[in-house]
C-alpha cells in the first residue's frame, strides 16, 4: 500500500491509449469514406457532364450498349414460361 499512485497512473495511461486509438481509428474511417465519396462524385460528374469535367463524348456512349442495331434495350427472345423450362 505504499505505492498507491501507480494505480492511478496506470489507469490514466491505459485510458489515454484507448482514447488515442479510438480517435485515430475514427479519423481513419472518416478520411477513407470522404475520399471514396469524393472519387465517386467525381466519376458521376464526368459521366453526367463529359464535356464540362474532362470526359469525352464517346465514352458516354459506352454505357448505352455496343450494338448499333438495338436501341439500347434488351429484348426477350423466349416466353417467360419457356425460360423456366430450359
Per-residue pLDDT averaged across 58-86, rounded? 61
Confidence category of residue 1, pLDDT binned at 50, 70, 90? very low
Cell of 59: 465514352
Q: What pLDDT is stored for residue 60 in this prediction?
A: 47
pTM value? 0.42
Identify the residue whose cell numbers are 426477350: 76
Confidence category of residue 73, pLDDT binned at 50, 70, 90? low
What average pLDDT does the structure give for the chain?
74
Q: Rounded CA gap, 17 and 9, in Å?
A: 12
Per-residue pLDDT averaged across 51-60, rounded? 60
Amino acid at each position: 500500500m505504499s505505492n498507491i499512485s501507480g494505480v492511478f497512473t496506470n489507469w490514466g495511461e491505459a485510458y489515454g491509449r484507448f482514447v488515442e486509438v479510438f480517435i485515430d481509428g475514427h479519423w481513419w474511417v472518416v478520411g477513407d469514406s470522404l475520399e471514396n465519396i469524393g472519387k465517386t462524385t467525381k466519376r458521376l460528374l464526368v459521366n453526367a457532364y463529359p464535356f464540362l469535367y474532362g470526359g469525352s463524348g464517346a465514352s458516354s456512349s459506352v454505357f448505352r450498349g455496343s450494338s448499333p442495331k438495338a436501341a439500347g434495350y434488351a429484348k426477350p427472345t423466349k416466353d417467360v414460361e419457356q425460360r423456366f423450362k430450359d
